[in-house]
Amino acid sequence: MQLAPRQLDLFGRLSRPASVPARAPVEPSKPVQPDPPPLLKAVPVALLEVAERLPTRQETLARARALAARIAEVLGPELKVLLTVHDNRSTMISFRRQPPLLKIRAHHMFLDAPVEVVQSIADYAGRGKTSAGVELDDYIAAQQKRIRAIPTKLSLLESRGACFDLQDLFVSMNAAHFDNAVVARIGWGRNTSKRRRKSIRLGVYDHKAREIRIHPALDRPDVPRFFVEFIVFHEMLHQLFPSDRDTGRHVHHPRAFRDRERAFPKYAAAMAWERQHLQELLRR
């Protein structure tokens, strides 16, 4: 039986999904202090040192084979483990079970994983034990310095849409609600879905790149300005209130975040508009 892919992400879903696969989201546990958007000419020395220590291709291949063998040893002969190593900044580990194959994509941080973490990978990916995701969360949180925090180049962001200029909204929200303390780039995201959605991310904030992306479904004349402002406000809050952990469970929107969100002048109106028009947004 072929199962759907599973993955651990750094960025949690901000939408109101109708139904989504279970996943173990992972967020950096330490608050990020405001500073200018990352530029290659201003890369901190510590991050350069981390990049310089990344394994070579030959080292990676050898260590990946060794890690795959360790996972296979835990699982036994029923599954053959195929392991791919990557160095992206969002998905730390994902898998697809296609018995007798178990295909795993893992961040290079796992190449040095201790015995107990290898056991958690085997339990999570090979045996479907979701409880092992918590242990992997903890390991990833402790390895944040090994996640490339600086993108190789700044992505292109277009803030001016057909109906709304997100940069204007960002500047207005920053002055009115944050004393201009939020430093981030903002732009419209891409609408690549060709099928009817079951969920939609109206906005997302990338802690590492300091980028806010707003779903283009909101760039329409029938969407009220106050609702787009609320989504921008929501994403700006993520810079001031990074995700937290409560009794070992990942909390994407801490209580302080929710309290500040409800202080938005048109919070009730925004929530009501979203409930009333969510199905329309899913069709766009």
Q: Going by C-beta distance under 8 Å and a sequence separation of 6 or more, which residues neighbour residue 153? A: 40
Please tell me the predicted confidence (pLDDT) of residue 197.
Answer: 61
- Give the start-end residues of each E strand in the chain: 6-8, 80-86, 93-98, 101-107, 185-188, 203-206, 211-214, 244-246, 249-251
How confident is the model at residue 150, as a pLDDT? 45
> Looking at this protein, which amino acid is placed at residue 152?
T
Backbone phi and psi for residue 188, each to the nearest 5 degrees, phi listed first = -80, 140
Q: Check residue 130 and give its pLDDT.
A: 83
pLDDT at 252: 76
CB 275 within 8 A of CB 190: no
Predicted pLDDT of residue 210: 86
Distance (Å, whole) CA 160 – CA 167: 7
DSSP track, 17-46: -SS---------SSPPPP-PPP-GGG--HH
Total residue length of the chain: 284
214-269 per-position pLDDT tens digit: 999 999 999 999 999 999 999 999 988 876 544 445 567 888 899 999 999 999 99
pLDDT at 43: 36
- Domains annotated for the chain, with CATH where assigned, are 6-30+44-146 (no CATH), 166-282 (3.30.2010.10)
* Packed helices 255-262 and 225-240: angle between N→C axes, nearest 10 degrees: 150
CB 125 within 8 A of CB 97: yes
Tell me what pLDDT residue 234 has: 95
Question: For residue range 235-247, what is the model confidence (pLDDT) as tens digits?
Answer: 999 988 876 544 4
pTM value surpassing 0.75: no
The whole-angstrom separation of Cα 91 and Cα 131 is: 18
Low-confidence ranges of the chain (pLDDT < 70): 1-57, 90, 148-155, 192-198, 243-251, 284
pLDDT at 41: 34
